[in-house]
Amino acid sequence: MSGGGTIDFEIRESSQRVSATEREALLANPGFGRIFTDHMVTIRYAEGKGWYDARVEARAPIPMDPATAVLHYAQEIFEGMKAYRRADGRVGFFRPDANARRFAASAQRMAMAPLPEELFLDSIRQLVGIDQEWIPTSAEGSLYLRPFQYASEVFLGVRPAREYLYCVIASPVGPYFSGGLKPVTIWVSDDYTRAAPGGTGAAKCGGNYAASLLAQAQAAENGCDQVVYLDAVERKYVDELGGMNVFFVRADGSMFTPELNGSILPGITRDSIIQLAREQGRAVEERPVTIDEWRDGARSGEIVETFACGTAAVLTPIGTVRGVDGEFKLGDGGTGPVTAGLRQSLVDIQYGRSADPYGWTSTL
């Protein structure tokens, strides 16, 4: 049971671990979110009892009553973070405390019981510890960790649930976009928005992603990889992509990114890039950015690069922006030097290859 601290985990090792040979074969080409490790973490919550029954156990289906609240009203949140295999064989983490904080903030927005941050961090260490052989050793490989929490109470009334299940699963991954550092083409959604003021845009809740799927399908029909969303009120300001924040680079090397306006997810990569870029002596503004400023700047040559960033996507250059009224390119549509440089600085810290003056990294 837990008020603010942590609790002991019961470890039930899987009796059906994937063999080393089969694992190596799977790790040769993991893709993204397709294969999973042997174990998972589960912790339960009940009102009046707190968090209890923390377990590391064999990864398995979770049986659910058809009246489980999450299936009806989508009271669910998740996180996305990675564990990295370092050159010296150790396992590294990148700002897991920031994921723990954001998870608690998402819980608060979705009227869910918040998991104590120490318990979140413990759960990550437990799962990575037992499944660390699943961390790819390939250059851009990592173990993607997916903590999530949902309303597990069996009840159809519309109110915050009184029972929750917290779970962590892990998936060895390669690059999110199959092209690697190849620039992506982005669709400006005219028909759909992602988040409105007062809504859930700043929370990492499953419903935000469900709402994005139709726009994403439309992007694919138009030959695009991802959607960029405009603000819901004026349809004028750039918010972010479906699963990534966005940055703009000017010809003079300065940068800007949409400010955290309550509708944008506060990305940990975004925050890290702002700090890294400033450290490099670049001016970085956080402020409203209009789609007109982006288009006109790209056409005049003032904006030379745009990139998307997030845990899954790392830094991905945006080469072309397409919408109902035409398209424009960033620079020559290729990968710009500022994007490539910042990406390298970030991954070098994440993989423990360069010094970390920020205290962002830790090891298992």
Residues of this chain that bind ligand COI (CB under 6 A): 80, 243, 310-312
Residue 117, amino acid: E
Q: Which does 95 bind (CB under 5 to 8 A by kind): ligand PLP, ligand COI, none?
A: none
- Give which of ligand PLP, ligand COI, none residue 185 binds (C-beta under 5 to 8 Å, depending on kind): none
Residue 266 CB, nearest distance to ligand PLP (Å)?
8
As a residue count, the chain comes to 364
Q: Which stretch binds ligand PLP (CB under 6 A): 27-35, 163-171, 266-274, 295-303?
A: 266-274
Structure tokens at 110: 């979705």
Tell me which amino acid residue 240 is.
E
Q: Which position's Cβ is nearest ligand COI? A: 80
Strand-strand pairing, 303-310 and 245-250: antiparallel
Single out the residue of 147, 172, 175, 243 in contact with ligand PLP (rule: CB under 6 A): 243
Enter the tokens of residue 30.
């993991």
Q: At 13, is the secondary structure helix, strand, or coil?
A: coil
Q: Which does 239 bind (CB under 5 to 8 A by kind): ligand COI, ligand PLP, none?
A: none
**In this complex, which beta carbon is closest to ligand PLP, that of residue 269 or of residue 320?**
269
Beta strands at 226-230 and 238-241: parallel, antiparallel or unpaired: antiparallel
CB of 247 to ligand PLP, least distance (A): 12
Which CB atom, from 168 or from 244, has the smaller least distance to ligand PLP? Answer: 244
Exactly one of 110, 244, 303, 321 binds ligand PLP (CB under 6 A); which one?
A: 244
Cβ within 8 Å of residue 45, ≥6 positions away = 51, 52, 113, 115, 163, 164, 165, 166
Question: Cβ closer to ligand PLP: 136 or 243?
Answer: 243
Cα(27)–Cα(316) distance, rounded to whole angstroms? 23
How many whole angstroms separate alpha carbon 183 and alpha carbon 177? 10
Q: State the residues that interact with ligand PLP by CB under 6 A.
A: 80, 240, 243-245, 265, 267-270, 310-311
